Structure 1
Amino acid sequence: MNWNSYIKSFQHYLKIERGMSKNTIDNYTFDLQRLCSYLDENNISVSPIKIEDETIQQFIYTVSKELNARSQARILSGLKSFFSYLLFEDYRTDNPMELIETPKIGRKLPDTLSIQDIDNLIAAIDLSKDEGHRNKAILETLYGCGLRVSELVNLKISDLFFDEGFIKVTGKGSKDRFVPIAKSTKKHILLYKDSTRNHLQIAKGHEDTLFLNRRGKQLTRAMIFTIIKDLAVKINLQKKISPHTLRHSFATHLLENGADLRSIQMMLGHESITTTEIYVHLDKKHLTQIINSFHPRKN
């Protein structure tokens, strides 16, 4: 088999055996194709079962010049998974990634928006335009439910269990979870669904998709990024933000108002509590309030 055949087999393994998300599989595939391009550009003819660690190390050294530590770590993660798969399937007898170290990336915390920042973003939405109520419902849902952008664009009408006060969210690895939804978020979703969405000519296959573009099709992740960045520019917000910023703000504001880590973990869909801890950085003022409120010797 050539590289493409091994990569396709690897994709199938990640999807069926590992249950990984499409985004993760696409990222791993992109990085493997980057390695293939490097081999072609340097006239290196070698198969996945014959390539040695020196060649891979040189590839990593070359691409690292234009990538930060986090991107480097992702490439290494994908390559390690690929060669571990080849080892598992007995295509190879060794793993050329064993001696290659992953760069230390630390815990990078995205910017958090204040409640006033979020109110300003939402207030800046032009409700006179057809997409205004949709965009307002999108921001209210991202912040009100703490969703990932991929979870938002894949949200279905059949996932809305408003009578029970929940929405069903399909997260990483196609794992479902139920997230409580506030009355205000529910109100904006219903307003969009009943006043805007029902006037669209919905494309075949998108009848159950909640958030649609003007052509009646599912919104892309890139479009959500654009909506939020345009609003940030409109209110002159001096922060680099993304849909993930609203998710991070959701978790931080919950913690600051007394929610426990375990509950936040369940709502965010994190398998490990240590992942949740990345989101809930605290300032000293809040820590002082915790001591004054809960420590037995607070007086």
Structure 2
Amino acid sequence: MLLSKAWEAYKADKRIEGFYPHTLKAYGLQATLLIRYFNDVEMNSITTQQLKEYLSKSSENLKPSSLAHRIRFIRSLFRWSHEEGYIMKNTASKIKEPKGGKSIPKFLTEREIEHLRETAYTPMEKALFEFMFSTGCRIGEIVTLDRNSINWSNRSAIVRGKGDKEREVYFNIRCDIWLKRYINDREDSDPAIFVTERNPHRMSIAQMRYIIKRISNRAGINKTIYPHQLRHSYATHLLNNGAPMDVIQSLLGHEKSETTRIYAQLSGKIRQESYRKYF
């Protein structure tokens, strides 16, 4: 089977399985690069050594985390193709991710969070910022959220996360106030919980990222701030306040506990920084 045909079949299968759309989009880029490098040959003709050469050339320009992402895609594609009987041998089975491929998530301090709160001016900006931070949702989960997904009585919402799995998330009183004010001030009938400022319609991921960037530029914080950082900060805040790891895992919607345990490393880093600061 040609690489391009394998990718199309893989993508269709994973979409049915409920793969997160943004994962498939990122994998699509990796597939394009792989097909371009090998000139869309038959998968059976690609050897382990050729894959290693491709990854070796990639490693010159990629960070370990980006290289690890590329390797995960290749391993997944070749494993699936082998299991489906499209290739005789899984030549990617022995390719391993680079050490240090998983970095400790970057988070914001409480002071930085307060600076961002101060520079979110409009009800929409405040509602979006508070919802991101107080729920710890992925930006892709917020984009698809509708007004009728909100349960105002217990300040919660049902979101659809990775693997098309639903989970309940919660928001605080500050978020409740600004979210109600924002929605009540709106004159449109769009079902989306967050809409564009002009010609109101469902806000895109790019537009949400722009708004967070706009808020952070006003705050004058000397670091690059992006929406997923608010999710990391949410998890760190829970951890520092004594939340058990299994609770954090459930609230974040992590399928594997190993994904959540990285925040334990983060906590260790916080303790180390505190020691160096105060001792």
When normalised by structure 2's length, the TM-score is 0.89
Name the structure 2 match of 1:199. Answer: 187
* Distance in 1 (alpha carbons) for counterparts of 2:246 and 2:76: 30
For 1:106 and 1:46, locate their aligned partners in 2 and report how far apart those are by CA, in whole Å: 29
Separation in 1, partners of 2:107, 2:86: 46
> Is 1:28 the counterpart of 2:12 in the alignment?
no
Native 8 Å contact 1:148 1:244 kept in 2: yes
Query: 1:102–1:27: structure 2 CA closer, same or farther, 3 Å change rule?
Result: same
Structure 2 distance, partners of 1:46, 1:108, is 34
User: Quick one: which of 136, 161, 183 aligns to 2:126?
Assistant: 136
Distance 2:29 2:273 in 1: 42
Looking at structure 1, the residues matched to 102 and 79 of structure 2 have their Cα atoms a distance apart, in angstroms, of: 26
Higher relative contact order (CA 8 A, sep 6+): 2
Percent identity between matched residues is 27
Matched residue SS, 1:228:
helix
Within a 5 Å distance, the mapping from 1:222-233 to structure 2 comes to 222-233=206-217
Distance 1:279 1:244, change over 3 A: farther
Closer, same or farther: CA 54–262 of 1 in aligned 2, 3 Å: closer
Aligned to 1:247: 231
Q: Determine the C-alpha separation between the residues in 1 that align with 2:181 and 2:242.
A: 31
Distance 2:78 2:272 in 1: 48
The residue aligned with 2:221 is 237
Q: CA deviation at 1:177?
A: 0.5
What is the aligned partner in structure 2 of residue 291 from structure 1?
Answer: none
Tell me the CA shift for residue 176 of structure 1. Answer: 0.6
* Structure 1 stretches of 4+ moved >6 Å: 285-288
Q: Deviations over 1:55-109 (max 9, x none)?
A: 2222222222211111111111111111111111111110111232321125422
Rg comparison, structure with higher value: 1
The verdict on how the C-alpha distance between 1:118 and 1:285 changes in structure 2, with shifts beyond 3 A counting, is same
State the Cα deviation string for residues 179-219 of structure 1 (Å, max 9, x = none).
12222211111111111xx324x6xxxx3211111232222
**SS state of the match for residue 163, structure 1?**
helix
Q: Distance in 1 between matches of 2:238 and 2:155?
A: 18
What is the rounded CA distance, in whole Å, between the counterparts of 2:138 and 2:41 in structure 1?
39
* TM-score, normalization by structure 1: 0.83
Query: In the comparison of the two structures, how many residue pairs are matched?
Result: 271
* AA of the residue aligned to 1:117: E
Match of 2:7 in 1: 7
Alignment of 1:146 onto 2:146: no
Superposed, 1:81-230 pairs within 5 Å as 81-126=76-121, 132-195=122-185, 198-200=186-188, 207-213=190-196, 214-230=198-214
Structure 1, unmatched stretches of 5+, are: 127-131, 289-299
| 248, 258, 261: which one aligns with 2:245 | 261
Check 1:246–1:29 CA distance in 2 against 1; reply closer, same or farther (3 A cut): same
If each structure's helix is expressed as a fraction of its own residues, which one has the higher value?
A: 2
SS of match in other structure, 1:199:
coil
Root-mean-square deviation (CA, aligned residues, Å) is 2.2
Whether contact under 8 Å (1:111, 1:240) holds in the other structure is no
Q: Deviations over 1:102-147 (max 9, x none)?
A: 2112542233222221121121123xxxxx2111111000111111
Q: 2:72 aligns with which of 74, 77, 86?
A: 77
- Contact persistence 1:151–1:171 (CA under 8 A): yes
User: Which range moves more in the overlay, 26-35 or 272-281?
Assistant: 272-281
Asked if 2 retains the 8 angstrom alpha-carbon contact of 1:83 and 1:95, the reply is yes
Rate the CA distance shift 1:275–1:216 in 2: closer, same or farther, 3 A. Answer: same
Q: Is the 8 A contact 2:79 2:93 kept in 1?
A: no
